[in-house]
């Protein structure tokens, strides 16, 4: 049987591009975003996301007599609001696609997916840092000085130790310029640990804390008109440490994608967009640490 081409009025690879975009974006979101690994994520269309945490009860310990004291507790109204939009729009003219030696649509889809993922990650991490209640200032030299690493890590761990939530795991997010101190510290450690660091070539955890590395400039001072959406951050020369799953970010319906014809113009527009909201739940503020580099 001969192969046939569909007899539709217009046939291109739009459907296949959409499938490709969804597959590549889903893979990128799972692998590239630090936020996905340290926060709870909600992609439903819920209008309100209520706090998953309640207040801690007060235990009464006394000699046995069969009685008890009824205590009141405070309910904290704490909800997550979706506030910001992430969007990229580009136009590819037909002659650009026709005369190009590679698939411009696939190339731009990859670039847009990466930009959206990076933008969401930066936004969530800065919001997390901005809301962290505990504070810590590193010794002079910060993370770049190898001798500081054990001191810094032990002090950070002590900030959240004793809370039941630490079973979720702890995290530290640093920028790539902080990496040398960690590498040198691991390589100088004793025997099997140093061997593992030297053989594997990079650190993923240290003292039981998962280490995540983002690019320089992720933690920044930005105002609402400077690229932070509806938020204002003062996070330059800061890093963030804490307990996983104590914050939630919402991305209703995930990330969307559209292709549109434009009147009087060949080719089409491709648009990638999504919405995001973030909440570091009030009852868990103390499990986030705002680190100032000295």
Buried/exposed 234-262: b ≥16 CB within 10 Å, e otherwise = ebeebbbbbbbbbbbbbbbeebebebeee
pLDDT at 11: 42
Question: 80 lies in which domain range?
Answer: 14-59+73-292
Q: Which residues contact 46 (CB under 8 A, 6 or more apart)?
A: 250, 252
Q: How far is residue 228's CA from residue 207's CA, in Å, rounded to a whole number?
A: 33
Instruction: Kindly state whether residue 196 falls inside one of the protein's structural domains.
Output: yes
Q: Look at the chain and report how many structural domains it folds into.
A: 1
CA 94 to chain CA centroid, nearest Å: 36
pLDDT at 15: 62
Give the up-direction half-sphere exposure of residue 137: CA atoms within 13 A in the CB hemisphere: 2
Instruction: Kindly state whether residue 87 falls inside one of the protein's structural domains.
Output: yes
pLDDT at 14: 63
Instruction: Kindly state whether residue 195 falls inside one of the protein's structural domains.
Output: yes
pLDDT at 242: 95
pLDDT at 140: 96
- Closest listed residue to residue 109, CA positions, set 284, 278, 256, 276: 256
**pTM higher than 0.85, yes or no?**
no
pLDDT at 56: 65
Instruction: Kindly state whether residue 67 falls inside one of the protein's structural domains.
Output: no
Tokens 């680190």: give the residue. Answer: 291
pLDDT at 6: 44
Residue 26 belongs to a domain with what CATH number? 3.90.1690
Q: How far is residue 6's CA from residue 152's CA, in Å, rounded to a whole number?
A: 64
Per-residue pLDDT for the chain (294 aa), expressed as one digit of tens each?
Answer: 444 434 443 445 666 666 665 666 665 655 567 888 899 888 887 766 666 666 667 778 888 888 888 877 665 667 788 889 999 999 888 888 777 766 777 778 788 888 888 888 899 999 999 999 999 999 999 999 999 999 999 999 999 998 878 888 999 999 999 988 988 887 776 544 444 444 444 557 888 899 998 889 999 999 876 678 889 999 999 999 999 999 988 888 777 888 888 888 898 888 888 888 898 888 788 899 999 999
pLDDT at 114: 81
Instruction: Kindly state whether residue 9 falls inside one of the protein's structural domains.
Output: no
Helices (H), 132-254: 148-160, 179-187, 191-200
């Amino acid at each position: 049987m001969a192969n046939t081409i569909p007899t539709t009025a217009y046939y291109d690879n739009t459907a296949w591009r959409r499938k490709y975009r969804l597959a590549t974006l889903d893979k990128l979101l799972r692998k590239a975003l630090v936020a996905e690994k340290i926060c709870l994520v909600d992609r439903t269309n819920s209008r309100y996301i209520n706090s998953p945490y309640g207040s801690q009860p007060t235990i009464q310990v006394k000699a046995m007599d069969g009685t008890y004291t009824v205590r009141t507790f405070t309910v904290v109204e704490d909800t997550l609001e979706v506030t910001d939009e992430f969007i990229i729009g580009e136009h590819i003219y037909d002659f650009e696609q026709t005369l190009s030696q590679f698939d411009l649509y696939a190339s731009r889809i990859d670039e847009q997916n990466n930009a959206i993922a990076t933008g969401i990650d930066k936004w969530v991490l800065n919001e997390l840092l901005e809301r962290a209640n505990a504070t810590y200032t590193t010794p002079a030299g910060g993370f770049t000085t190898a001798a500081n690493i054990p001191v810094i890590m032990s002090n950070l761990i002590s900030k959240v130790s004793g809370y039941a939530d630490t079973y979720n795991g702890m995290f530290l997010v640093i920028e790539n310029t902080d990496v040398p101190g960690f590498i040198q510290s691991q390589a100088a450690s004793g025997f099997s640990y140093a061997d593992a660091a030297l053989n594997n070539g990079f650190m993923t955890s240290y003292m039981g804390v998962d280490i995540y590395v983002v690019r320089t400039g992720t933690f920044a001072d930005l105002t609402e008109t400077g690229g932070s959406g509806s938020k204002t951050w003062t996070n330059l020369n800061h890093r963030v440490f804490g307990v996983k799953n104590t914050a939630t970010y919402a991305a209703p319906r995930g990330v969307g994608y559209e292709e549109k014809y434009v009147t009087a113009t060949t080719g089409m527009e491709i648009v990638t967009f999504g919405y995001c909201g973030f909440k570091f739940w009030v009852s868990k503020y103390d499990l986030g640490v705002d680190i100032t580099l000295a």
